[in-house]
Amino acid sequence: MTPPLPRAVHPGAWWLWAIALAVGVSATTNPLLLLLAISVVTFVVVSRRPSTPWARAFRLYVWLGVLVVVLRLVLHVLLGLKWGETVLLELPSATLPSWAAGIDLLGTVRLEGLLAAGLEGLRLATMILCVGAANALANPKRLLAALPGALHEIGAAVVVAITVAPQLAESVQRVLRARRLRGDAGRGLRAFRRVAMPVLQDTLDRSLMLASAMDSRGYGRRGDVPLRRRRLVSGVTLASLLAICLGVYGLLDTRSPAWIGTPMLVGGIGLGALGLRLGSAAVHRTVYRPDPWRGAEWLVLACGVAGAAGVLAAQELDPLGLSLPLQPLGAPALPWTAALGLLLAALPGVLTPLPPVTRASAARRASGAPARAVATPQESA
């Protein structure tokens, strides 16, 4: 079988894959499923991330996830409700005044409560890693070009926001490399103070360059749109948002009337699509080399949906298997539907085309040539 030619997968496909995984992860606190999801996300990122600054920022999301878990455990020890039967640590306790709702500080730390807090933090950390995977795999500039015209201004703001972390990571690497070349390899707080200001200055300069480049290409500029058309688009968009909110509420509340649930949600999605179409028709723009949506993109989307569907199916078939048994404490089960869905979500790391830069770098390493960064036309656009 001939391997697919190297090309960049549509950034929207990677974001939909990551969002679907995050939705599935949000329904479980089973440590086996969470660790499996982390392994799947890491495998796909390592296998298919390009040689770009935003791809190297994935480790920042990893450290952020670790910080979330540690902070959740610390907050449980300090302020959390201590429950369970197995005592881990005896700490002195202090009760706050009544105006602070009588919260108890410290106290006896028990295993069951600590595990529950840690698993909640691990679930949030896994969702953060899903977002980090989307940032590492998808080119944010190409994602902006793929958005509908009605979301052009919002998309520009979102792209600038999500490129802050990659630019900060690249600035840190540039400053540290420059310090090592000058023979300054100091560590600690003093070195941090010497690195912080150059990093902030470099990040600010790059942000200003990005803003200038986007302004020169017409980002953030509106054409001549009649007032009646703008009001129509705003009204349709607002109605779609209200309908979607009512539909979601109706699905979550089983006591609500039947017409508030699925019919309202479907109608809101339809109004949203109509609003996007009307708003896009009023925005005239061109896209240089638009990213195609082919079989690889459908595969990525299907694998992400399979991962979420597997966890949601396990929620209906075996709801107790999606959490760790704490009362009494026992070993976690492994729901086969959720595990199979998450394993299917790892297929994009094998079946999708390699990024062009990754394939070129591998060829240079195989030939013994010195590695150097080569930008593809899509990444330089």
Q: How far from 316 is each of 19, 25, 132, 319, CA to CA, in Å?
A: 21, 15, 29, 6
Residue 254 has pLDDT above 60, yes or no: yes
Residue 88's H or E segment, with its range, is strand 87-89
Residue 282 has pLDDT above 70, yes or no: no
Would you call 104 helix, strand, or coil by DSSP?
strand
CB 195 within 8 A of CB 179: yes
Instruction: Give the per-residue pLDDT at 359.
Output: 47
Instruction: Give the per-residue pLDDT at 348.
Output: 93
End-to-end CA distance of the chain: 32
Residue 357 has pLDDT above 70, yes or no: no
Q: What's the pLDDT band for 145 if we cut at 50, 70, 90?
A: low
CB 137 within 8 A of CB 162: no
| Nearest by Cα to 285 from 148, 143, 142 | 148
Residue 186 has pLDDT above 80, yes or no: no
Q: What's the pLDDT band for 248 if we cut at 50, 70, 90?
A: confident
Instruction: Give the per-residue pLDDT at 377.
Output: 39
Average pLDDT over residues 86-101: 75
Q: What's the pLDDT band for 56 if we cut at 50, 70, 90?
A: confident
- pLDDT tens readout for residues 264-280: 888 888 887 887 777 76
Q: How far apart are alpha carbons 150 and 45 in whole angstroms?
A: 31
Which of 126-135, 146-155, 217-226: highest mean pLDDT? Answer: 126-135
Which of 93-107, 131-145, 151-165, 271-285: highest mean pLDDT? Answer: 131-145
Q: How far apart are alpha carbons 46 and 355 in whole angstroms?
A: 12
Residue 373 has pLDDT above 60, yes or no: no
Instruction: Give the per-residue pLDDT at 375.
Output: 41
Q: How far apart are alpha carbons 149 and 84 in whole angstroms?
A: 54
Residue 233 has pLDDT above 80, yes or no: no
Pairwise pLDDT comparison (217 vs 262), residue with the higher score: 262
Locate all alpha helices (DSSP H) within the chain, ordered by sequence.
11-25, 31-48, 53-56, 58-79, 111-137, 140-146, 152-162, 164-181, 189-216, 227-252, 262-281, 295-317, 336-344, 348-351, 356-367, 377-380
The residues that bridge with 94 in the sheet, in sequence order, are 105
